[in-house]
A and B are shown apart, each in its own frame.
Chain A
Amino acid sequence: MASSNEIDPPGGPGNTLPSRVWALKGARAAISIPALILTAAFVGYAGLARETGLSLTETLAMTGLIWALPSIVVLTGALNSGMGLIPAAIAVALASVRLMPMTMALMPMVKVEGKTKRWQLLIASHFVAVTAWVYAMRNLPDMPREARLPFFLGFGFAITSFVFCATGVAYLLVERLPPILAGSLFLLTPVYFLCSLWGASRLMADKLAMAIGLALGPVFFLYVPGLDLLWTGLAGGTAAYLIHRVTRRGLS
């Protein structure tokens, strides 16, 4: 026996691969559509940062430390308007509440009971943002449990580094993208999310939550701007869960 707390891994020779191999596999997976999508978004942001008067180091510090585009855009506005520290922190915190339920939903998937340390999860959580999250929810369940955390860390680190560099280059070089390229890049993000999120939905409840969320998002955006995503998640997710429970009980 190797170790006392080792649980029976769900078959497959992949289990014998060391963590660093899984981390490299994650890094390689990141440098494809996910990196392209985020690069497109951050190239757009680099233009905004430069117009706003942020320096290159400020722009890069925000990219690396915050790593969530909505929060970065809010903070850019706050810096530009000379907003105080506390109001700015509140505005940014409101823009990033969504990261909490997303992280909560990811954690049970990546941790190995009795083996994964909490600090490892705290580090991994920094990479939780919509793009990495949909990729992880879609692809991690197909991997052996021990592979998931190293894969996600490799994925997150690679995509963050890549986008960090691309943002710097864009800040220095890109005056303005050709309109047709800029427009195509903006559409890339929602279509990629749409397909990946559907692929990540295992249960009927998830698919239902996705459909209800798509419909509620714009409604809450118009009536409770600012907290709209939180309300979309709570109302849409709860409705989907309840419908799922009622129909399941009805059938059994």
Chain B
Amino acid sequence: MSDVAWWWPYVMIVVAGWLATDMWRWLGVLAGGRLREDSELFVWVRCVATALVAGVISKLILFPTGILADSPMWLRLLAAGAGFTAFLAVRQMVIVGVLAGEAVLIGGWLLLGGVPG
């Protein structure tokens, strides 16, 4: 990024970043505006969006980036599973699930002989 005008990155950010991203949100408003909350189509759209976000979750656990990528996969699965189980067990409190997951991850890391990196 040396020989370009100072303003070029901002053109990229506005056109290739902002417009390319927000156009999907705007299309979602236009297409979702006619949906009724009690319609069958809405149930299907919810299913699609839910499955999609679930896909994001399993990718984050199975194919993480950064330092978490250096931890064994079984430990990440165990931590996520423990967090979710704790969440279900204690009146579906998200904070309980998050803390339990973190406790298992950090405990496992320490047992394995410290954190990599």
Contacts and interface: CB of A to CB of B under 8 A. Distances in A.
A111 B42 CA distance: 14
Interface string A180-206: 101110111111111111111101011
Interface string B17-50: 1111111111111011101110000111111111
In the A-B complex, the 4 residue pairs with the smallest Cβ-Cβ separation, listed nearest first, are A103-B28, A213-B54, A217-B55, A233-B52
* Secondary structure class of chain A's binding surface, majority of residues: helix
B52 A102 contact: yes
A206 B15 contact: no
Contacts of B117: 179
A215 B59 CA distance: 10
15 contacts: A58-B9, A79-B9, A99-B24, A103-B25, A105-B45, A122-B26, A130-B56, A190-B80, A206-B47, A210-B50, A213-B53, A214-B55, A214-B57, A218-B58, A241-B44
B94 A82 contact: no
A217 B57 contact: yes
B102 A188 contact: yes
A234 to B, nearest CB: 6
Given A108-B42, A195-B83, A237 B50 contact: yes
A215 B46 CA distance: 18
Contact-size category for B: 35 or more
B75 to A, nearest CB: 10
A188 B106 CA distance: 12
Contact of A217 (B4, B59, B102): B59
A172 interface: no
Contact of A205 (B22, B43, B83, B97): B43
B59 A128 contact: no
B57 A65 contact: no
B65 to A, nearest CB: 8
B17 A62 contact: yes
Interface string A210-252: 1111111110110000001110111111101100100000000
